[in-house]
Structure 1
Amino acid sequence: MTAKVSSSFLTLPVENVYRILDHLDELTIFLSLRNVCMRLNTIVDTYNRYQTLITLNLSTNDIGNRGVQYIANALQYNRTLTTLILICNDIGPTGAKHLSMALTKNNTLRTLNLRWNNIGPNGAKWLADALETNQALTTLNLCENLIDAEGIKHLAHALSKNKTLTSLSLVSNKIDVDGAKYLADGLQHNQTLLILNLAKTEMGFEETLTSLNFAWNEMGNQGAQYLADALKNNRTLRQLDLCGSQIYDLGAEYLFDALTINRVR
């Protein structure tokens, strides 16, 4: 909290402060006007534009890990934001660390989109640490983030403990056979994840995988579609367990179409 605040500001009528806020953009209000002083905290909390700020989209702004640190600091105290979109900002593993620390304190954010941010396996580990305790996040997009099997190992462990995440997208990451096995193991202990998108990964189904167990993970029809896309190029899988996965007619059709293309050697 700032040590010195103008005495004139401390006595400025609330209506006048509102008028000042009216001329500021939402990002400035979100990032710069918390923890200046207790009075301003109270005023901002009652300001309509702050109360209704539920989505913040800063995609393709090149904010980097320094910029995301300011966002993470604000996120720790914010109680209105439910969706944060940071696509293509090159936040890296350090930026993921900042967000992880915020997620351990924030209990209102529901959707976090970090597509194309080069967080890598270390960044995945930081986010996984947050997922183990976070009780709010339901949707996490980590597409195109250079996450390999080691990063997936941490995420899979988090999934075995997380109770709120319902959608996880890992499209276009370096997920090989080991990564697929880590996910399968983690999902055996998860009861909430409904959508897991593994399209365009490097799972290598066509090379070595012979057994895959996704039983009792409630993947549903959409999850079956993602799995079917991966199986189309498979040439080695001998055993697939989807018991209790809530796959109905549409999901079965996806799998059937994939198996008509699939040719086991």
Structure 2
Amino acid sequence: MSVTEYNQNVGEEEEEEVIKPPPKRPRPLISTKKPVETVSNESVTAEEGIEEEEDELDFEGCTSEELLARRTKSFTCFAQLVLSSSSILRNLNYVFPVPKDPGIDDAFNYVEPLPVYDDIGVEKYENLCKEYEIVPLTRIKNTLGTPLMNLKFYGLREKQLKAIMETLKGNHYVEVLILQDNFLTVPMTEMICKMIEENGTLQVLSLKQCNMGPEGAILLNDSLSTSQFLTDLNLSFNGLGDIGLRNLQQGLCDLPSLKILDLSNNKLTEDSADVIEKIITENKTLSELNLAWNGFYTTQANKLIFKALGLTDRLRCLNISWNGISVRPAVKWIGKYVRKSQVLEELDLSWNRFLEPAVNAIRRAILNNGSLVNVNIGSIPCTPEKAVFVANILINAKKAAHPIKFLNMENIVFTKEILKVMESANKLGRSIKIGGILGNWIIKDPNMAELIFKRIRYLLNKPKKKKARKDFGHFLLTLPLQPITKAEFEQLMLKKKMKKLDAPLIQQLEDLYTIKKNKKIDAAAMVQTYMDLWPDTCLPPPKPKKEKKKKKDKKRKKKGEEKPVEGEQVSEQVGEQVGEQVGEQVGEQVGEQVNQIQPTTADSPPPVEGQPIEASQTHLERQQLEAPIEDQPSEATQLPETSGES
């Protein structure tokens, strides 16, 4: 029987059941035997009674409710089910309809769909970091929604770079990606290449100094051929060599949107000149080319490169500095291209070893060019007179159509005539950068005295503690004005406690102001030079002397002596003060009485030697008695009598 026939039969049976009238209510179960009476015999168990009862039951017309009401052992399984009153129990051949699948197959065969992230990719980056067991970088999360992502000098590891590149595949915001100075292995370079193939927003990619090498160039070549949006590619300082550049040739030629290409410092030689020629001629969008720090100094290499440049009218900026170009035949092809080009706007020929004929050829080519705006020919071996001759380009290019505005000739020595050239060029709206010293000017030495004094001031003010700092100007102002010897100068410095100064520094200062005749130090000249540099220097005000604290008299306490009571101490102090006042008054009165006594006359006999002098005699009388007779005053010169009561 087929499935369809089976379903039809089942459907017909269901319809017949619906049409049939409902069955009569079955009669209740009636037992044909009297119920079992309970016996007190313990040997008869309840289970035997239940089994006997089950044998006597009549199941005809029994409903599900009645079966559930039974608590016999045979019907306990029905306690967990809800039985319908249909004819399922009576029709043993009843077939259930095929149930619908509730989703079991889908649950077993479930495949988790790919997560849907936003176009920024912050959530995706965090999930990838969790998967790779790395810490997410804040810089990445903050710059995923901006045009610039700068990861310069980050030192990215393989897992970190993998998470970033996977995130950037679906990012629509980052346009500039800088991976400079990140060491890239071959697997890491492959991750970047896959990102370039799938990303449709990235325009600028900097892989400067990533040590990619020839192996990485092979992987990058395939991705560049498929990219449609990359406009700026920086591959400088990667050590590509001639082999690596040849591996990149096809990708660089086929890149349809490339405008700026930097191949500087990649150890390229004359063998790579034909590759450069093909890139220039086959790429139809290239407008800026940087070939600095390479080895294109031969005539053959310059012929291939500049001949190819002459066939294109797209290149606007060319940098061929630091290539060691020197001979006239090599410069010949540069001059031909510069003279005929009508689209070249910036030219950098600095740090080459141009000889004098080569410099003349370049000067003529620049004058005949009609499109150059900025020219850099600085740091070339050139005499001061020849440098001024080259700088006259700015004045001699008097054509109104000549667009040159800036000439860079730094690190070249000029004569003073360059000042007139600069003034004339400024009037024409043009400028020149010389950045060197003029050849016929007097060069002055640095002020050695100022340098030494500044060093001394720095060393003396270096200590953190304020008390340890010294002022050298205060020391100089205490020096004598006359010349002093070196020993005296050093002794004075030690006296001022200037121990922070080095011996060689002091020796240089002494030699700077030593007088040749007597080998002494001119202290006055030293002070004058210092005051010219720091005229505000002056001596500090003298510090006030601190009064010495009077020591308290320590009275020795005698053994057994009792301390006086406070009242007794006060009375003693008062008595002492009164005694002092009375003594002073008595002394004054006695002095007045002594002054009233008349001095002795000349007739009075002199005192005998050894005889004691009376206490009433004054100091003047004592002098008269001790003096010789000739020196004694006469009667006319005697002191007048003092008036007053005796």
Q: Normalization by structure 1: what TM-score?
A: 0.75
> Take 1:252 and 1:145, find their aligned partners in 2: how far apart are those partners?
22
**1:199 has 2:321 as partner:** yes
Q: Which one has the largest radius of gyration?
A: 2
- The two structures, once aligned, show a CA RMSD in angstroms of 3.3
Q: Tell me which residue corresponds to 1:117.
A: 238
Is contact 2:291-2:320 (8 Å) kept?
yes
Q: Tell me which residue corresponds to 1:38.
A: none
> Take 1:111 and 1:88, find their aligned partners in 2: how far apart are those partners?
16
User: Unpaired segments of 5 or more residues in structure 2?
Assistant: 1-109, 130-139, 145-160, 379-388, 394-408, 413-646
Per-residue deviation, 1:252: 10
Q: Tell me which residue corresponds to 1:52.
A: 173
Per-residue deviation, 1:201: 1.1
Per-residue deviation, 1:109: 0.7
Q: Tell me which residue corresponds to 1:7.
A: 111
Alignment partner of 2:302 out of 161, 177, 180 = 180
**1:20 has 2:123 as partner:** yes
The aligned amino acid for 1:193 is: L
Shift in CA distance, 181/75, structure 1 to aligned 2, threshold 3 Å: same
The aligned amino acid for 2:112 is: S
The aligned amino acid for 2:175 is: I
Alignment partner of 1:158 out of 259, 270, 279 = 279
Per-residue deviation, 1:94: 2.0
> Take 1:33 and 1:94, find their aligned partners in 2: how far apart are those partners?
25
Question: What does 1:120-135 align with in structure 2 at a 5 Å threshold?
Answer: 120-135=241-256
Q: Tell me which residue corresponds to 1:70.
A: 191
Shift in CA distance, 171/111, structure 1 to aligned 2, threshold 3 Å: same
> Take 1:78 and 1:96, find their aligned partners in 2: how far apart are those partners?
19
Per-residue deviation, 1:56: 1.4
Identical amino acids, percent of aligned pairs: 19
Per-residue deviation, 1:93: 1.5
> Take 2:188 and 2:121, find their aligned partners in 1: how far apart are those partners?
26
Is contact 2:297-2:330 (8 Å) kept?
no
Secondary structure in 2 matching 1:165: coil
> Take 2:317 and 2:243, find their aligned partners in 1: how far apart are those partners?
24
> Take 2:352 and 2:182, find their aligned partners in 1: how far apart are those partners?
37
Number of residue pairs aligned between Structure 1 and Structure 2: 235
Secondary structure in 1 matching 2:177: strand
Per-residue deviation, 1:246: 1.1
**1:219 has 2:344 as partner:** yes
> Take 2:392 and 2:225, find their aligned partners in 1: how far apart are those partners?
40
Per-residue deviation, 1:133: 2.1
Shift in CA distance, 65/159, structure 1 to aligned 2, threshold 3 Å: same
The aligned amino acid for 2:124 is: L
**1:61 has 2:61 as partner:** no
Shift in CA distance, 107/141, structure 1 to aligned 2, threshold 3 Å: same
> Take 1:86 and 1:30, find their aligned partners in 2: how far apart are those partners?
15
The aligned amino acid for 1:100 is: N
Q: Deviations over 1:216-239 (max 9, x none)?
A: 26222x21xx13x36772344375
Is contact 1:75-1:106 (8 Å) kept?
yes
Is contact 2:189-2:216 (8 Å) kept?
yes
* Larger RCO: 1 or 2 (CA < 8 Å, sep 6+): 1
> Take 2:377 and 2:241, find their aligned partners in 1: how far apart are those partners?
35
User: Unpaired segments of 5 or more residues in structure 1?
Assistant: 1-5, 35-43
Q: Tell me which residue corresponds to 2:166.
A: 32
> Take 1:253 and 1:94, find their aligned partners in 2: how far apart are those partners?
36
Is contact 1:59-1:87 (8 Å) kept?
yes
Is contact 1:209-1:236 (8 Å) kept?
no
Is contact 2:231-2:257 (8 Å) kept?
yes
Shift in CA distance, 169/65, structure 1 to aligned 2, threshold 3 Å: farther
Q: Deviations over 1:93-147 (max 9, x none)?
A: 2212222211111010111111100001122223332232221011111111001
